[in-house]
């Protein structure tokens, strides 16, 4: 039999799992502290959802020559989408919070202090002044 490592080896599987979990944790923290907005170039003074909803609806009505009934139906679709998006955003916020709390439970007190400092340094680097 060969002594070459295989994926069935518990040490390799554990290492891969730890690397995956660490990557997921870093990704969640980065997204929580503004990386998502920065990657998608969301302006800090973006229009409110209501005003953008109305602007899109006006644009559709004008460019597509929509009837009043069509305009009303599309308005409902846009509102449904907005509510669905908000629901997903709330779920993402819960996921980030859960991940953060799980990480903090694993760390020892000294490690938690270092971790909080790392988080505090990450926020300005991403251009997000507010901590959630």
- List Cβ neighbours of 68 (8 Å cut-off, separation of 6 or more): none
Rounded to an integer, what distance in angstroms lies between the CA atom of residue 17 and that of residue 40? Answer: 29
Which of 8-22, 33-47, 84-98, 114-128 ranks highest by mean pLDDT? 84-98
Q: Percent of the chain beyond pLDDT 90?
A: 16
How far is Cα 40 from Cα 14, in angstroms, rounded to an integer? Answer: 34
Q: Which residue has the higher pLDDT, 8 or 27?
A: 27
Residue 49 DSSP label = H
**b/e per residue 45-76 (b: at least 16 CB within 10 A):** eeeeeeeebeeebeebbeeeebeeeeeeebbe
Predicted pLDDT of residue 25: 76
**Separation CA 34–CA 123 (nearest Å):** 7
Cα–Cα distance, 75 to 60 (Å, whole number) = 10
Best-predicted range by mean pLDDT (19-28, 43-52, 73-82): 73-82
The tens digit of pLDDT for each residue in 69-110 reads: 999 998 999 888 888 888 898 888 888 888 888 988 999 999
Residues 7-19, mean pLDDT to the nearest whole number: 76
Cβ proximity of 35 and 130 under 8 Å: no
Handedness of CA 103, 106, 110, 111 (dihedral sign): negative
Indicate the average pLDDT of the chain.
77
pLDDT at 17 over 70: yes
């Amino acid at each position: 039999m060969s002594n070459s490592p295989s994926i069935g080896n518990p040490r390799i599987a554990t290492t891969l799992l730890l690397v995956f979990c660490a990557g997921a944790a870093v990704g969640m923290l980065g997204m929580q502290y503004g990386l998502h907005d920065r990657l998608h170039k969301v302006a800090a003074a973006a229009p409110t959802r209501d005003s953008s909803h109305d602007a899109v609806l006006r644009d559709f009505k004008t460019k597509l020559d929509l009837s009043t009934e069509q305009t009303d139906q599309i308005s409902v679709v846009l509102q449904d989408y907005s509510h669905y998006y908000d629901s997903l955003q709330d779920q993402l916020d819960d996921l980030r919070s859960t991940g953060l709390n799980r990480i903090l439970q694993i760390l020892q007190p000294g490690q938690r202090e270092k971790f909080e400092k790392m988080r505090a340094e990450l926020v300005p680097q991403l251009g997000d002044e507010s901590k959630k």
